[in-house]
Structure 1
């Protein structure tokens, strides 16, 4: 049995023995009366040890302060009732009055207990809540005091047998403690002192009140039952509070504040008021009704004030609720970034319009918006969206209601008939100038669709989306009006994205390898890995169709991871089969989405480790647009370079910043774009185009030599082009003349044939 349970059990035994002794004495009259005074000091002594043990174990300062004050109160009460017990033994067989010394100790104990309960924090910090709580507590206190005064203290004051000042002071203090404690503990919200434990301790005031009521009712005959039946309950309640506090340690607060207590106080004050109305106005020279009526009036006034505050709070809460509902409604129907209506609001308005005369919808999508996010950052992208929303709102004017549907996709509900063309032209004109604080020049594609009344909103949006998709397919920065059948390519494009996920899981992708050839000897020195999709129903799907879909859906990341690992595995297999001199480079293409993948560097490292391919033999081919994507991409590229992986700048010469890139980009290989190889073999005197092609090709190889970079000429389609490039300084090239993309098995056969030709040539 734990220590708190033992303390409760022991005080319970004293309560039981005291009750049994009183019953026995009442029936038989056996034994001295002083025995009835011994149970109280013995039981409170046990309570002292219980509180002391809990106080020593409590670590919270507030809790330790409460139990320390309660311990002091128990010690003083024990001393006071021990003095009373001694007086009872001395004065046997008479019942003694409380000695002044005992009254002083007991009174000090009650004051210490009152102090302990009064200092327990209520957990209320808001000023409005504190005012309301003080009103509630005052109402409850007056109600309790009025009842206790009328039915407890007043009978003692007007009793025929006069009480000693000491005894009367103790009883009045006990009544005050009962009223104050009940009022205080009813509002404790929780904390280091358990609410239920404090209520149990505060109930000791009711036990003392019971003594006073017995004494007031029965006079001298009520003293002994008060001492034996009521007083021993005090230490039992204290030890029970200690037990409840120990059990509640570490648990969330239990119960809730008694908001109904002021209303009970109003009912309680009516009891003495009714008694006054039914009794004589003066009893033994004491005007009973004045205090009771005054208390009732005060309680009524406080209740009115409390109700006024409650009504004001209710009005405020109702106003706040209405504002909150309006705010939530606005947030549910508007885009948080741009302030435009969102998809929900746009569809609601569209449904309303379609019930009348029909509707026209304009869908607008920013072209290449991801490029802004990737190169300049998402903050700049958000600023661009905000600026574009303002431009859209201004261009639509009174003829349309703009909304942001998702990402960089916007919509305008045309509200003025016949103004759809004017609205879209105003929008296209407005974005022809740089917008946002960064003065960005953006382009947008738009689709227009109209529908008669009764058309489902989803069908109209589908048609507008199909028109917008067609505008993008026609070169972007364009707008198209919907025509029947226009949705089929868009649906096929959407279905293609869904098929990609299934194709990845089903293993429908394969790699082909285009040889990279030494121009002087015709030997294969490397391969470019190209992915192909062999669809079970559609046959081979062109990369021009599925690569954009993979980019758009994000599936390019897992697809690119598979291409990387398969390229490394196959290149390592060729080296193992034909020797270390067979391939200098294995080159898969890398998309910008892969470079933004946080796991890309780890994927490359894992692919090399799993395959055993030396890092210097892996060449990652990147386009200029992929490299121009900000500091994060450059950091990734430098990490790859530090690993020993070589980087190739594909389609070199076609961009505006190709030359400046070579200073920041850790390139190892430069690939001359096919546009500079086409017709380079032709000698056309006076032809500016031919001279420009040769000049660019010569400048690229000279620049690469100066920087220590390798060069590869792309798109070689005949031997004359190969000879001209060799004369210009190129040693390595690729193209259909040198070798078409073939399967791994076909390239293996070519490598084997080259291996066999080496001894023959020797």
Structure 2
């Protein structure tokens, strides 16, 4: 609470003190009877003056809308008029020795102006009604409520004063009537205000100020002249306290949401009208008259109950309809699985933000999510998507809108201009560091960041973010990249390369090269690894490092791998026919993870063996650890191939996290030591942790292979010293540029022919 918001508290305290002191004076006067009764008239003008000062301070210092300022100006006039009018009455009381002095005309005029100003202010408060039909319905309801409440107050308040033996001044009766009107009208009006610039509680408090008149009337009717003193000293000082409380509520008011009007009020008013009717039954009426009155009261009561029941039922139906509409609206703008905003809501919010100013978008794409669906099933995949959505929701917080665009693609629209896209992207990647979902899966994501100024088209900004996201994937995944001008060219080249791949497959531009696997002791070729090569008609030889990732991302690795498999089997069968069954023992095409997930892969292998006539035990499928660690479908395919007699080589062994555990579950026949453990193995660096580690891994892999009865092949041999060190460690087979580079089938044929001629010489 600010200092300005605390300011009206002193006015509440002042009016409270006046009310308490006045009540204490009355208690003392009641006991001792000492002092003039006119003292009781002083508390109301003092309290009203304090309330007027509070309203003036509110107008001077508080930020108010134009309608609120108009309302409180009228209330300032009302408080000031009551203060002046009752100050004149108090002065007259000290001159007149009677308990109830005649109210001077000037006092009645000022007090009347005050009441009329308060009534005018309440009448001008906007109801927040849109349609004319609703305005007329509310006018009818308010009229019923007003008449019902007024009838009760008239019967029990004004009527006894008018018809009683005590003669009351016209001024007093008029002011009490205005007070009753303000009370009933205020309560009726407040009940139908749905929202607006004036605090509802403040309006209720002002309405209650008029209700103080009911207490005054009751005291004066019951006590006659003697009731005037407690009415003036105890009841009336409560009104200024209510007034300062109303000022305090308005001072703290910051705006309120619209709410439904109290449509039950007319039913309450119908019941209220029956109260005076029942009250006259004990009077001088015949029993038949009384029976008619009772029956009328019962009928109106039953009708009221019936109408109220109908109203409650209609209200329930309306709530259900509103809830159904809100549910349908939510379903139309949110993803059914994750509960995040969907593409439609994302585009709408992004368009609105681009119209107002700049916008920043993060595109989040899960890496290798298809593998989870294919290997573990869609239920596990859905569970992972829900966990990812939860991570995005928690990581984004109030900084943006997380969205599921579809599949495994998500987005975040940053709503806070002070939040940097890089900061939020790193926060998301950090949240992906641990296992997710109930299945404890590790998942990574690639994030593209793009920012655009106002006026940029929505599709342009999304294209930039998409380009940045693909650039992040090309940099190794689990990464974020911000878009910059010119970034789209490499991505476009990558996409164009995918189209070129499809054309190249149809045009027969791919060939198979073969890299020998050599016995390190003798130099004899014992097998080959089959490798795809692309001879582009205009670009020349395209590096596998360039086209293999494109083939993987486009899915063309499956037909490309099928071509390499069939061509390798055909060529291997031809070499065995030409050079004899002992010429080569191993023919090893590489197999990707995408091929293993192809449901026709086992059938493709069977077809390649059948078409070529190659014995199944000569075919060695080379698989990386990342391709093998893919779930039940991959494992089932590998065991089916193993049962056919096809052998499997575990390529790049030692670089994964589960190399040793793989050997217990994977039907491997050959382990290929990764090149990273061969590089520098020949160097003698006493005390070097790196050199010791390389040799320790190479030695451990060899001992493990011997224990399990597996063959070993050392990859990436580049010099004679590495051959000698590997021989010392027990390796008998190797592969690398020092031994032989990959070569076309014709060159490999000549090499095998030379080897045959040398052996026969």
TM class by shorter chain equals 0.5 to 0.7
Q: How does 1:372-391 map to 2 (within 5 A)?
A: 372-391=372-391
Structure 2 SS opposite 1:494 = helix
Q: Aligned equivalents of 1:538 and 1:443: distance in 2?
A: 34
Task: Work out whether 1:546 is the aligned partner of 2:547.
Answer: yes
> 1:604 deviation in Å?
0.6
- The 2-side partners of 1:701 and 1:413 are apart by 53
Inter-partner Cα distance in structure 2 for 1:708 and 1:325: 68
1:616-652: CA deviations, max 9, x gaps? 1000000111111112211111111110101101111
Q: 1:341 to 1:632 in 2, by over 3 A?
A: same
Q: Give me the whole-angstrom Cα distance separating, in 1, the residues matched to 2:575 and 2:386.
A: 54
C-alpha displacement of 1:377: 3.6
Q: Is the 8 A contact 1:560 1:594 kept in 2?
A: yes
Q: TM-score, normalised by structure 1?
A: 0.56
**2:616 aligns to what?**
615
C-alpha spacing 1:344/1:546, structure 2 compared with 1 (3 Å): farther
| Mapping 1:301-700, distance limit 5 Å | 330-421=330-421, 422-700=423-701
Aligned to 2:192: none
Q: Aligned equivalents of 2:426 and 2:606: distance in 1?
A: 51
Of stretches 351-360 and 434-443 in structure 1, the one that deviates more from structure 2 is: 434-443
Map of 1:13-412 to 2, 5 A cutoff?
Answer: 330-412=330-412
Q: What is the CA distance between 1:322 and its match in structure 2?
A: 9.5
Separation in 1 of the partners of 2:657 and 2:426? 30
Cα distance in 1 for residues equivalent to 2:556 and 2:717? 32
User: CA-to-partner distance for each residue in 1:323-374, whole Å, 9 max, x for gaps?
Assistant: 9887666555432221222223322322232223232211122234345445
Q: Deviations over 1:93-116 (max 9, x none)?
A: xxxxxxxxxxxxxxxxxxxxxxxx
Partner of 2:591, secondary structure, is: coil
What's the secondary structure of 2:337's corresponding residue? coil
Residue 320 of structure 1, CA deviation: 10
Change in Cα spacing, 1:518 to 1:383, as seen in structure 2 (3 Å) is: same
2:191 paired residue number: none
Question: 1:531 and 1:369 mapped to 2: Cα distance?
Answer: 26
Q: Deviations over 1:55-84 (max 9, x none)?
A: xxxxxxxxxxxxxxxxxxxxxxxxxxxxxx
Number of aligned residue pairs: give it.
Answer: 447
By how many angstroms is 1:700 displaced?
A: 1.6
Partner of 2:65: none
Taking a change above 3 Å as real, the CA distance of residues 324 and 598 of structure 1, as seen in their structure-2 partners, is farther
Q: Report the CA distance between 1:477 and its aligned residue.
A: 3.1
Report if aligned partners of 1:375, 1:628 keep a CA contact under 8 Å in 2.
no
Query: For residues 479 and 743 of structure 1, what CA distance do their matches in structure 2 show?
Result: 40
Distance in 1 (CA, whole Å) between partners of 2:502 and 2:527 is 31
Aligned equivalents of 1:660 and 1:534: distance in 2?
A: 40
**Aligned equivalents of 1:723, 1:426: Cα separation in 2:** 49
- SS of 1:453's equivalent in the other structure is coil
Aligned equivalents of 2:517, 2:431: Cα separation in 1: 48
| Partner in structure 2 of residue 732 of structure 1 | 733
Quote the offset at 1:321 in angstroms. Answer: 10
In 1, the alpha carbon distance for the partners of 2:325 and 2:508 equals 52
Give deviations 1:390-443, integer Å, cap 9, x for gaps: 221232223311211232221111222222345334434433444322344433
- Determine the C-alpha separation between the residues in 1 that align with 2:541 and 2:342: 40
Q: Distance in 2 between matches of 1:681 and 1:641?
A: 36
Displacement after TM superposition at 1:605 (Å) = 0.6
CA distance in 1, matches of 2:435, 2:647: 38
CA distance in 2, matches of 1:729, 1:577: 32
In the alignment, the residues of structure 1 paired with residue 483 and residue 391 of structure 2 have an alpha-carbon distance, to the nearest angstrom, of 24
1:97-154 deviation digits (Å, cap 9, x = unpaired): xxxxxxxxxxxxxxxxxxxxxxxxxxxxxxxxxxxxxxxxxxxxxxxxxxxxxxxxxx
What is the alpha-carbon distance in structure 2 between the residues aligned to residue 575 and residue 659 of structure 1? 35
Task: Give the structure 2 partner of residue 181 of structure 1.
Answer: none
- CA-to-partner distance for each residue in 1:423-481, whole Å, 9 max, x for gaps? 33443443344432234443333222111222121110111122223333334333232
Moved more, 559-568 or 648-657: 648-657
Residue matched to 1:79: none
Give the C-alpha shift of residue 515 in structure 1.
0.6
Return the TM-score normalized by structure 2: 0.56
Instruction: Identify if the C-alpha distance between structure 1 residues 536 and 335 changes in structure 2 by more than 3 Å, giving closer, same or farther.
Output: farther
Name the CA distance, whole Å, in 1 between partners of 2:663 and 2:433. 32
Structure 2: how far apart are the matches of 1:319 and 1:532? 68
CA distance in 2, matches of 1:333, 1:495: 35
* Native 8 Å contact 1:534 1:540 kept in 2: yes
Give 1:746's aligned residue: 747
Q: Structure 1 665/695 Cα, relative in aligned 2: closer, same or farther at 3 Å?
A: same
- Report the CA distance shift for 1:474/1:606 in structure 2 as closer, same or farther (over 3 A): closer
What is the CA–CA distance in structure 2 between the aligned matches of 1:723 and 1:452, rounded to whole Å? 64
Evaluate the alpha carbon distance shift between residue 673 and residue 321 of structure 1 in structure 2; reply closer, same or farther with a 3 A threshold.
same
Distance 1:445 1:661 in 2: 28
Q: Secondary structure of the residue that 1:361 maps to in structure 2?
A: strand
Alpha-carbon separation, structure 1, partners of 2:358 and 2:476: 30
Aligned-partner Cα distance in 1 for 2:598–2:371: 15
Could you say what secondary structure the match of 1:355 adopts? helix
Distance 2:622 2:691 in 1: 28
Deviations 1:484-521 (A, max 9, x none): 11222222222222222222111121111001111122
* SS at 2:760 equivalent: helix
In structure 2, the CA distance between the partners of 1:342 and 1:501, relative to structure 1 (3 Å rule), is farther
Q: What is the DSSP-based 3-state SS (H/G/I as helix, E as strand, rest coil) of the residue aligned with 1:638?
A: helix
Matched residue SS, 2:411: strand
Is 1:681–1:724's contact at 8 Å kept on the other side of the alignment?
yes
Judge which range, 419-428 or 624-633, deviates more: 419-428
Residue 534 (structure 1) shift: 1.9
Which residue is 1:268 aligned to?
none
Q: Counterparts of 1:533 and 1:672 in 2: how far apart (Å)?
A: 27
Deviation for aligned residue 1:600: 0.9
SS at match of 2:356: coil
State the match for 1:226 in structure 2.
none
Deviations 1:511-551 (A, max 9, x none): 11001111122121111001112222322222222222222
Alpha carbons of structure 1 residues 537 and 407: separation in structure 2 relative to 1, 3 Å:
farther
* Further displaced range: 443-452 or 326-335: 326-335
Give secondary structure in 1 for the equivalent of 2:363.
Answer: strand
Residue 226 of structure 2 aligns with which residue? none
Give the Cα–Cα distance (whole angstroms) in 2 for the partners of residues 429 and 682 of structure 1.
Answer: 39
Measured against aligned partners, the alpha-carbon deviations of 1:727-748 in whole angstroms (never above 9, x if no partner) come to 2221111100110000001111
Question: Please, which runs of 5 or more residues in structure 1 have no aligned partner?
Answer: 1-314
DSSP-derived class of the 1:589 partner? strand
Whole-Å separation in 2 of the counterparts to 1:325 and 1:558 = 50
